[in-house]
Structure 1
Amino acid sequence: MTDRTTESAPDEKPKLKEYEGEGITVTFEPRRCLHAAECVHGLPEVFDLSRRPWVLPDAAEAGLVAEVVRRCPSGALRYHPADGSVEHPDIPTTVRRTPSGQLVMRGGLLVTGAYGDRPEARVVLCGCGASGNQPYCDHSGPCAEPDDDVPGRR
């Protein structure tokens, strides 16, 4: 298992941490994490914030790791199976506005932002305009009320 971090300058792509396992690689984009805790509750043996590295992809079967990563509403966590397959987006694509204005989207998405067009399967977009990571929500404004992170409300 390797833990690689790709740093970025302000005009480059966002920082991405990569945790490589034998059966699956998990990537993490810290600026997009909204702390929904789906990962740490779903597979604590793989995702443990008290340890470094905090992600050990080989601590569970690759299919289980992929299943838990797909629960990450913000898309901060992604996975790449060793067999070369990719995450299939939800069909149909869904959009839900939280009571405070965030847009929670799942499906085959193309998000345009500061770093150009990015294919996405899961995102939480800012609804108030205060995010420093536009168009993604970063919990810096009024559209990030704590009760909007309730698991299962997709």
Structure 2
Amino acid sequence: MTEGEGATEERPRLKEYEGEGITVTFEPRRCLHAAECVRGLPEVFDTARRPWVLPDAADPDRVAEVVRRCPSGALQYHHRPEDAVAEQPDSPTTVRRTPAGQLVVRGDLLVTGAHGDRHETRAMLCGCGASGNQPYCDHSGPCAEPDDDDVPEER
């Protein structure tokens, strides 16, 4: 299926937060509230503030490091200038199933969904089939269990 064919949902909404040395993007529907960002750099990521992301509040390399902790891939980044290298995928690619059944995938990924193919470096994919944001997990099925809110660090 190509983009636009058979797609009845609206395109994913992406918010962009530009800084001098780094731009952070956020896709709200993919956020699973692991809170790696707010724990890692509260001066940059503060959900009580608008805008909630201030990329210039810390060194761009540190911001990138914390964004890479986001297990769902809801947060992404690219360095400035625009032609600079974006996030590099993990190698080798890893797939880990959480106790609730989600698939935590990191690497050089091509994920096919309702809006066609997307190149990804991190994703949390639905393992139970209940997600309304397929193929990504949205905690609408068994994976919404409270004891699975924290995703363990990658090994």
Which runs of no fewer than 5 residues in structure 1 stay unpaired? 1-8
Give 1:20's match in structure 2, choosing from 18, 21, 24: 18
Q: Deviations over 1:85-128 (max 9, x none)?
A: 11000011000011121100000110000010000100000011
Rounded Cα–Cα distance in structure 1 between residues aligned with 2:85 and 2:8? 31
Matched position secondary structure for 2:108? strand
Which runs of no fewer than 5 residues in structure 2 stay unpaired? 1-6
Identity rate, percent:
77
Shift in Å, 1:35:
0.2
For residues 1-154 of structure 1, the aligned pairs below 5 Å read: 11-83=9-81, 84-154=84-154
- What is the TM-score when the length of structure 2 is the normalising length? 0.89
Partner of 1:6: none
Rounded Cα–Cα distance in structure 2 between residues aligned with 1:81 and 1:145? 36
Rounded Cα–Cα distance in structure 2 between residues aligned with 1:30 and 1:15? 7
Deviation >2 Å, runs of 4+: 9-13, 143-154
Give the residue type in structure 1 aligned to 2:57: A
Shift in Å, 1:11:
3.7
Rounded Cα–Cα distance in structure 2 between residues aligned with 1:145 and 1:60? 34
> Which has more strand, going by share of residues?
1
Aligned-residue CA RMSD (Å): 1.5
Matched position secondary structure for 1:18? strand
Rounded Cα–Cα distance in structure 1 between residues aligned with 2:89 and 2:147? 26
Count of residues in correspondence between the two structures: 146
Matched position secondary structure for 1:112? strand
Partner of 1:4: none
Rounded Cα–Cα distance in structure 2 between residues aligned with 1:148 and 1:123? 16
Pair 142,152 (structure 1): closer, same or farther in 2 beyond 3 Å: closer
Give the residue type in structure 2 aligned to 1:95: V
Q: Is the 8 A contact 1:102 1:124 kept in 2?
A: yes
Partner of 2:3: none
